Structure 1
Amino acid sequence: MATLVRRIKLGSQGLEVSAQGLGCMGMSAFYGPPKPDEDMIALIHHAVDSGITLLDTSDMYGPHTNEVLLGKALKDGWREKVELASKFGINFMDGKREIRGDPEYVRAACEGSLKRLGVDCIDLYYQHRIDTKLPIEVTMGELKKLVEEGKIKYIGLSEASASTIRRAHAVHPITAVQLEWSLWTRDAEEEVIPTCRELGIGIVAYSPLGRGFLSSGPKMVENFTKDDFRQYMPRFQPENIEHNKLVFERVSEIATKKGCTPAQLALAWVHHQGDDVCPIPGTTKIENLNQNIGALSVKLTSEEIAELESLVSADIVKGDRYGALSSTWKNSETPPLSSWKPE
């Protein structure tokens, strides 16, 4: 099968990936019940055959079951065809969520992921959320050791502020920062994205389709199952969704003019942000995967980009992207290294 996906350099340490990746979370967790393994393995193999080689998972998806799924999918020669990304840092203890970046935890999490994935080395290993109880330099010190030991190749951060990225990068080069970036989530453009570009760090855009809203519109809310966590997110609440449907309607109008789907238009917008950006839309359906790959062929003029951005400006979207107590880059500052006393 001819590859349909171009390759890009992610960051400046030598990692090369497909220009579009595959977010695997929804196969196992958070967006409704887990999907059958054999269907998801077929989907992953189809993605790789089509040229999508960056596969994104985390130890907290399940927890653990998504990594086990990828481990099964990567047997029998598939491992060599992909760049594998996983994450650590969100730990579930007695039903409570805690964020950890202490060296002992970092190492144990990495060993656990290697085992579940059935691999000797993880290509890109992210800190999923920043542990604000200890200096970022402490976490990075252990990640640097894991690179030196050959257990991980490249280090990433997810939902980290500009100053956290800068401090981490001074300990060991950061290859990629994963952040939410789409037509309806653009807050990272102010400071985080320029910092990544200044330091030569690649950008991995998660939820580039607005958690499905930019492909399905407001009707998606009617299909949420009881274990779909989107039902608790501010933007999907009744008082906001009614307003936010305007965003979908405007994207749909332009997509119709372009002869593509709203999802393809929204993804194409992310692709047009630069060759240092790799969106990782997730899906559990082969037809949606094919549609997402089709977004790489949608070309936008600077006028069309400006029109899209003016129609979907920040003041049009109602509701935060996460609930008030969630950890994001906005509250990811860590104490100075000088304040840390190892136990």
Structure 2
Amino acid sequence: MKTTTLGANGPRVSQLGVGAMSFAGVYGDATEAESHAVLDAAREAGVTHIDTSNVYGMGRSEEIIGAWFAARTGARGETTIATKAGITQKDGKRAFDNSRAHLESELDASLKRLGVDHVDLFYVHRLEAERPVEDTAEGLAAILKTGKTRAVGLSEVAPSTLRRAAAVMPIAAVQSEYSLSTRAPELGLVQACRDLGTSLVAFSPVGRSFLTDAPFPHDKAQGLVFTKANPRFLQPNYAANIAATDRFRALARDRGEPAAALAIAWLIAQGDQVLPIPGTKSRTHFAELVRGTEIDLTREDIAAIEKVLPVGWAHGDRYSADQWVGPERYS
């Protein structure tokens, strides 16, 4: 398993991680047994990084991981665990709170669900627009001193925001959607992470199924919480995206590789600081994702991939108007 450094001076971690949002049923029901089977497969493959959040299933994802730690002797010591906080509710609507008091209180609850005394990485999940990021960074620095986390990060932020926060304290990781279907991070975030020694933790690295051999059928996508409102899964965008990614699936098939593996290999080829965290509840699909870490792409390979899926190929915005509340746009 390829490894990389988490942040400028952090521990060595597998370059592939496990995104545990899938454990909370966001993309369909997932049992604890299925989730534990994926975590067992990850452990067997040398995947040492697990990413979750307090809001994934309102703590359900963390509880599943905590139960796995409790049942597997030595698993916690072999694992880098990351969680997040900062998303809340106000007057029945989604809101954000980056105060130290809120973040630390939520972290305490996460530690209890996970059954651990600290996490290795704690993110601000979404920025509170009214609070200067410098103030948020100072709060994270104070939490870091408590020993409840070993490092801190930010999620869905602009490159300029990362640089402002890093001027206050080291930011070990930034989490952002990044894949062949979402290449906005190349407009400054990839470069800022490289300059600062910050890991770029890439979620949805296989394009929410579009970059796999089994993309969600349209009827299934319309029954899932996230995709039923997402522009890329609405017609006519959905059909256009399937047609575009059919070319990618054909390329992968010609090379004797799963499409998901080729998508992961392309992402890892973007730099050692890039750490994909795909989510799945299937051991078979997880094996395809792990295969991506074993493929060393040449310049010619990358050119062939980007010929069938050039920058900007995807039809539809990556988020709906409601889904864009919280993430920072940048160009």
Q: TM-score range by the shorter chain?
A: over 0.9
In the alignment, the residues of structure 1 paired with residue 196 and residue 313 of structure 2 have an alpha-carbon distance, to the nearest angstrom, of: 32
**Would the aligned equivalents of 1:123 and 1:152 in 2 still touch at CA under 8 Å?**
yes
5+ residue gaps, structure 1: 332-343
- The worse-fitting range, judged by mean Cα deviation, of 91-100 and 13-22 is 91-100
In the alignment, the residues of structure 2 paired with residue 293 and residue 88 of structure 1 have an alpha-carbon distance, to the nearest angstrom, of: 28
Asked if 1:129 corresponds to 2:126, the answer is yes
Matching residue of 1:168: 165
Asked if 1:200 corresponds to 2:220, the answer is no
In the alignment, the residues of structure 1 paired with residue 129 and residue 307 of structure 2 have an alpha-carbon distance, to the nearest angstrom, of: 36
Report the aligned-residue RMSD: 1.7
In the alignment, the residues of structure 1 paired with residue 108 and residue 141 of structure 2 have an alpha-carbon distance, to the nearest angstrom, of: 15
In the alignment, the residues of structure 1 paired with residue 92 and residue 116 of structure 2 have an alpha-carbon distance, to the nearest angstrom, of: 29
| Equivalent runs, 1:31-50 vs 2, <5 Å | 31-33=27-29, 35-50=30-45
| Equivalent runs, 1:58-207 vs 2, <5 Å | 58-75=53-70, 76-93=73-90, 95-207=92-204
**Would the aligned equivalents of 2:210 and 2:241 in 1 still touch at CA under 8 Å?**
no
In the alignment, the residues of structure 1 paired with residue 40 and residue 294 of structure 2 have an alpha-carbon distance, to the nearest angstrom, of: 22
Q: % of aligned pairs identical?
A: 37
5+ residue gaps, structure 2: none
Matching residue of 1:224: 221
TM-score norm. by structure 1 comes to: 0.91
Deviation digits for residues 135-165 of structure 1 (CA, Å, limit 9, x no counterpart): 1111111211111111100111110111110
| Equivalent runs, 1:264-343 vs 2, <5 Å | 264-325=261-322, 326=324, 327-330=326-329
**Would the aligned equivalents of 1:217 and 1:248 in 2 still touch at CA under 8 Å?**
no
**Would the aligned equivalents of 1:103 and 1:138 in 2 still touch at CA under 8 Å?**
no
Matching residue of 1:334: none
Which aligned segments of 4 or more residues in structure 1 are displaced greater than 6 angstroms?
none
The equivalent position to 2:2 in structure 1, one of 3, 6, 9, is 6
Deviation digits for residues 88-141 of structure 1 (CA, Å, limit 9, x no counterpart): 111135642111111211111111111111111110111111111111111111
In the alignment, the residues of structure 2 paired with residue 302 and residue 281 of structure 1 have an alpha-carbon distance, to the nearest angstrom, of: 24
**Would the aligned equivalents of 2:179 and 2:205 in 1 still touch at CA under 8 Å?**
yes
The equivalent position to 2:24 in structure 1, one of 28, 44, 53, is 28
The equivalent position to 1:212 in structure 2, one of 209, 212, 215, is 209
Q: Alignment partner of 2:138: what SS?
A: helix
